[in-house]
């Protein structure tokens, strides 16, 4: 067999023999010169082996350390040690830098001790899928380019349709996260109801004041900044009061406004509340409103025996958002949207450009590019499909049930040492605060939060509920275990003692 070099020499002599030598010699010489340099982008099998081994070794050390290291370091400063310079670094140097300046600072989302913002953890086998998707670099935007990859993407979406009781005719998309998924859903609602031009300022959207802020961002992005947003009253569990929804719709119609959409949450970010999905669905249907459900955080709890009934009515939604990088514990970078009305989605996203004419075949399955602002995208479906095939669904469901019980356990442990806790949570988000005698309760709890952050053993965040400063728990990392909660309790107890010492006047009620 000819070696690579021989082939090149042969081709060169062939070209020499068939063209004007003066020009070709120069041209070919240059190409080969560049080739000699650009070949560095294709490491040899041996080099690849070394790279993979080094990263594997780093990953092992990182995961081992995760069990005992703090979930948060309040060191917020990072000097720019990442300046891209002409001095190349070895992978070993890069990994050392990464460990010191990236992985060791801020919140550790891979840690089970991350129970502040809604975490997922990031299961390892999804990273294996990403590795495969990246090495093969499948083009998952169009069926024509990679029927296999797009079939996997569509299979993952069909699987979710099944879980949430959506019809086979619904379409969906795997997005980078919940924010883009919400954007796609709200765009479809806008286009279905043709909310444009002078219609915008008379059109009404109903939502809880506790909807995730990405809903507001999406409305601005899609030109609905000036739409009427009518916030609904909440009950004592922070769920939408559906009677209030009915009344507000009637009143708005009386005022010649045009209600067109209602947004419910299945697991709010602040308190994990699930709105009364079925009742809201019935009201939406009766009034011909687009019904959107944001279940980015809570959605996959529908798989649990203990919470499934709370999701009754979710199947009535016109559009639904779920985040596998939360409820299915994937590494960041996977949200999903399901929409029943294909035409509404296609209005904004389906486009045929001349240079894509080879890819058009109306008999083909749905192209992800027709359901999203993205054309070229990462082959995200694999990072969910592969772990599901590898582990089966049972460990995922058990993990969700475990998180619910851990939330209950955490609350009981907090009550034991004098904390007050928020109402019985719908899911795995809750909050607590330490009651004090005087009106310095907020200041006391803020200081407590500060000490907890300074410690960082376990990461908790805070929020305000009706003006009250509270510490929030969001248990969703697959790595959060009962041992993690016990460690959190030791940390909280220490911080509480310290806060009391610094506030001699403030005694517990």
Question: Chain centroid to CA 271: how far?
Answer: 18
Q: Smallest distance from the beta carbon of 294 to ligand PLP, in angstroms?
A: 5
- Window 115-134: residues binding ligand PLP (CB under 6 A): 118
In whole angstroms, how far apart are CA 426 and each of 66, 107, 275, 346?
29, 26, 10, 35
Report the residue number, 118 or 204, with the smaller CB distance to ligand PLP: 118
Q: Is 269 in the site for ligand PLP (CB under 6 A)?
A: yes
Report the residue number, 142 or 400, with the smaller CB distance to ligand PLP: 400
Q: Smallest distance from the beta carbon of 9 to ligand PLP, in angstroms?
A: 54
Q: Is 327 in the site for ligand PLP (CB under 6 A)?
A: no
Q: Smallest distance from the beta carbon of 285 to ligand PLP, in angstroms?
A: 23
The first and second tokens of residue 167, run together, are 């019809």
Which residues make beta-bridge pairs with 228?
204
Number of other residues whose CB lies within 10 A of the CB of residue 110:
21
Closest to 278 in 3D by CA, of 266, 268, 296: 266
Q: Is 214 in the site for ligand PLP (CB under 6 A)?
A: yes
The first and second tokens of residue 210, run together, are 């506790």
The window from 77-85, 165-173, 175-183, 312-320 that contacts ligand PLP (CB under 6 A) reads 175-183
Among 130, 252, 294, 341, binds ligand PLP (CB under 6 A): 294
Which residues make beta-bridge pairs with 429?
474
What is the side-by-side order of every strand in the sheet holding 429-433?
420-421, 429-433, 468-474, 461-465
Q: How many CA atoms does the CB half-sphere of 16 hold within 13 Å?
A: 10
Q: Is 323 in the site for ligand PLP (CB under 6 A)?
A: yes
The window from 21-29, 46-54, 172-180, 186-194 that contacts ligand PLP (CB under 6 A) reads 172-180
The window from 94-102, 290-298, 373-381, 442-450 that contacts ligand PLP (CB under 6 A) reads 290-298
The window from 37-45, 150-158, 292-300, 374-382 that contacts ligand PLP (CB under 6 A) reads 292-300
Q: Is 297 in the site for ligand PLP (CB under 6 A)?
A: yes
Q: Is 178 in the site for ligand PLP (CB under 6 A)?
A: yes
In this structure, are residues 163 and 302 in contact, taking their beta carbons and an 8 Å threshold? yes
Report the residue number, 178 or 368, with the smaller CB distance to ligand PLP: 178
The three-state DSSP-derived secondary structure of 21-83 is HHHHHHHHHHHHHHHHHHHHHCCCHHHHHHHHHHHHHHHHHHHHHHCCCCCEECCCCCCCCCC
Residue that is written with structure tokens 């002409």 in the block: 86
Number of other residues whose CB lies within 10 A of the CB of residue 172:
29
Q: Is 238 in the site for ligand PLP (CB under 6 A)?
A: no
Q: Smallest distance from the beta carbon of 107 to ligand PLP, in angstroms?
A: 14
Give how many residues touch ligand PLP by CB under 6 A: 13
Q: Is 177 in the site for ligand PLP (CB under 6 A)?
A: yes
Q: Is 381 in the site for ligand PLP (CB under 6 A)?
A: no
The window from 136-144, 171-179, 463-471, 489-497 that contacts ligand PLP (CB under 6 A) reads 171-179
Among 108, 114, 190, 212, binds ligand PLP (CB under 6 A): 212
In this structure, are residues 466 and 234 in contact, taking their beta carbons and an 8 Å threshold? no
Report the residue number, 210 or 445, with the smaller CB distance to ligand PLP: 210
Q: Smallest distance from the beta carbon of 325 to ligand PLP, in angstroms?
A: 6
Residue that is written with structure tokens 């719709």 in the block: 249
- Please identify the residue of the shown chain whose CB is closest to the bound ligand PLP: 178
3 state DSSP class of 260: strand
Residue that is written with structure tokens 């840690």 in the block: 111
Report the residue number, 269 or 367, with the smaller CB distance to ligand PLP: 269
Closest to 303 in 3D by CA, of 431, 178, 441, 402: 402
Report the residue number, 107 or 495, with the smaller CB distance to ligand PLP: 107
Q: Is 331 in the site for ligand PLP (CB under 6 A)?
A: no
Contacting residues for 328 by C-beta, under 8 A, at least 6 apart: 120, 300, 384, 396
- CA-based diameter of the chain, in Å? 97
Q: Smallest distance from the beta carbon of 323 to ligand PLP, in angstroms?
A: 5
Closest to 160 in 3D by CA, of 150, 173, 148: 173
Q: Is 265 in the site for ligand PLP (CB under 6 A)?
A: yes
Q: Is 179 in the site for ligand PLP (CB under 6 A)?
A: yes
**How far is the C-alpha of 246 from the C-alpha of 329, rounded, in Å?**
37
The residues binding ligand PLP (CB under 6 A) are 118, 177-179, 212, 214, 265, 269, 294, 296-297, 323, 335
């Amino acid at each position: 067999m000819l070696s690579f070099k021989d082939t090149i020499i042969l081709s060169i002599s062939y070209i020499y023999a068939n063209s004007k030598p003066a020009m070709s010699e120069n041209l070919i010489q240059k190409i080969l010169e560049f080739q000699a340099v650009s070949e560095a982008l294709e490491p040899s099998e041996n080099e690849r082996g070394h790279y993979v081994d080094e990263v594997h070794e780093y990953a092992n050390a990182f995961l081992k350390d995760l069990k005992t290291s703090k979930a948060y370091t309040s060191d917020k400063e990072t000097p720019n040690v990442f300046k891209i310079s002409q001095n190349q670094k070895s992978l070993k140097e890069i990994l050392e830098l990464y460990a010191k300046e990236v992985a060791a600072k801020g919140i550790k989302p891979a840690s089970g001790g991350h129970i502040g913002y809604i975490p997922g953890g990031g299961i390892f086998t999804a990273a294996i899928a990403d590795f495969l998707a990246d090495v093969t670099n499948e083009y998952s935007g169009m069926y024509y380019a990679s029927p296999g990859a797009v079939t996997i993407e569509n299979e993952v979406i069909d699987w979710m349709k099944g879980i949430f009781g959506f019809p086979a005719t619904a379409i969906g998309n795997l997005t980078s996260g919940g924010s883009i998924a919400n954007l796609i859903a709200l765009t479809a609602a806008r286009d279905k109801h043709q909310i444009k031009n002078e219609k915008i300022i008379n059109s009404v959207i109903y939502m809880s004041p506790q909807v995730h802020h990405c809903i507001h961002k999406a409305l601005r992005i899609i030109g609905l900044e000036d739409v009427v947003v009518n916030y609904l009253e909440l009950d004592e569990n922070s769920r939408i009061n559906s009677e209030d929804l009915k009344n507000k719709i009637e009143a708005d119609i009386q005022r010649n406004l045009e209600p067109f959409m209602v947004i419910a949450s299945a697991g709010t970010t602040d308190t994990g509340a699930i709105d009364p999905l079925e009742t809201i669905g019935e009201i939406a249907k009766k009034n011909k409103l687009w019904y959107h459900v944001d279940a980015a955080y809570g959605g996959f709890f529908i798989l649990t025996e203990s919470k499934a009934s709370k999701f009754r009515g979710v199947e009535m939604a016109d559009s639904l958002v779920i985040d596998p990088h939360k409820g299915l514990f994937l590494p960041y970078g996977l949200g999903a949207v399901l929409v029943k009305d294909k035409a509404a989605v296609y209005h904004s996203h389906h486009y045929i450009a001349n240079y894509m004419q080879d890819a058009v075949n109306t008999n083909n399955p749905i192209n992800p590019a027709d359901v999203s602002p993205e054309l070229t995208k990462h082959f995200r479906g694999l990072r969910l499909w592969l772990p599901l095939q590898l582990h089966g669904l049972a460990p995922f469901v058990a993990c969700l049930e475990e998180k619910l019980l851990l939330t209950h356990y955490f609350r009981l442990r907090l009550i034991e040492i004098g904390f007050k806790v928020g109402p019985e949570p719908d899911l795995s988000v809750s909050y607590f605060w330490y009651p004090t005698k005087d009106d310095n309760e907020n200041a006391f709890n803020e200081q407590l939060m500060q000490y907890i952050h300074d410690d960082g053993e376990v990461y908790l965040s805070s929020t305000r509920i009706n003006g009250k400063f509270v510490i929030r728990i969001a248990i969703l990392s697959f790595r959060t275990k009962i041992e993690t909660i016990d460690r959190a309790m030791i940390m909280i107890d220490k911080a509480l003692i310290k806060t009391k010492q610094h506030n001699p006047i403030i005694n517990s009620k």
